Amino acid sequence: MQAFLDRDNNSHWEIECKKVAYSFHKFGILIVRDPRVQHEDNEKYIDMVESYFESVGQKYYNGENLVDMRPELSFQTGVTPESTEKARNHEAIAASLPEEHKPLTLYPLEPDAKWRFFWPIGDRPIEINNDLPKVIPEEFPEWEEKMDCWGNHMINAAITAA
C-alpha cells in the first residue's frame, strides 16, 4: 500500500495495484497493511473488544439481561449473542453452479456460533433514515472513540485498496 500512497515518488505503484487485482481474482481476499495505521490503535481496539465480550458473555451465560442488546431493532445496533443469526440458505444457487465453481462445503444451516457488535461508522447519507441509536456499553467510556478510530482505519484502507 505504501507504493500506492507514495505514487508521486514511486514508479512501482501500478505493479502493486495489479497485485491487489490478482489477489481478489485468485483468492477473493486482500490482506492490507496500511502504513497510516498505528499498531497501538489495533491493540487498544482488540483489548477493549476482548474485555467487552468476556464480560458480556459471562452475564449472558449467567442469565443476566444484556442491556446492550436490541432484538426489537433486529440486532442492527449493539450486541448480538451467539446462535442468534443464521446464514441464508444458498444451496439451490450452489447446486446450479458448474462443478469447478461450487463451494467446497455446503452453507451451514445451523445458527452462527459467533457474537458480534453492530457499530455504525461514518456519516449516514441524508436519504437514509438513521433512527438506530449507537449503543455504548456503560462499562467502556472510551468505546465510541476506539470503535470510530479503528472503523475509520478500516474504511480508509478499503477505499485506498479499491
Residue 87 lies in a domain: yes
Question: Are 149 and 26 spatial neighbours (Cβ–Cβ below 8 Å)?
Answer: no
Count of domains forming the chain: 1
Does some domain include residue 27? Answer: no
> Nine-digit cell at 52?
467487552
In a domain, 70, yes or no: yes
Q: For 4-53, what is each residue's pLDDT tens digit?
A: 888 888 888 999 899 999 999 999 999 989 999 999 999 999 999 999 99
pTM recorded for the entire structure: 0.79
Residue 52: give the domain boundaries: 44-121+131-150
The reply to whether 7 falls in a domain is no
pLDDT of res. 108: 66
Q: What is the 3-state secondary structure (H, E, C) of the chain?
A: CHHHHCHHHCCCHHHHHHHHHHHHHHHCCCCCCCCCCCHHHHHHHHHHHHHHHHHHHHHHHCCCCCCCECHHHCCCCEEECCCCCECCCCHHHHHHCCHHHCCCCCCCCCECCCCEEECCCCCCCCCCCCCCCCCCCCCCCCHHHHHHHHHHHHHHHHHHHC
How confident is the model at residue 122, as a pLDDT? 79
Beta bridge partners of 117: 79
Q: Would you say residue 30 lies in a domain?
A: no
Within-domain flag for 139: yes
What are the pLDDT digits (tens) for 96-146?
Answer: 999 998 887 776 678 888 999 999 887 777 777 677 889 999 999 999 999
Residue 138, pLDDT score: 94
Per the domain annotation, does 63 fall within a domain?
yes
Whether residue 106 is contained in a domain is answered as yes
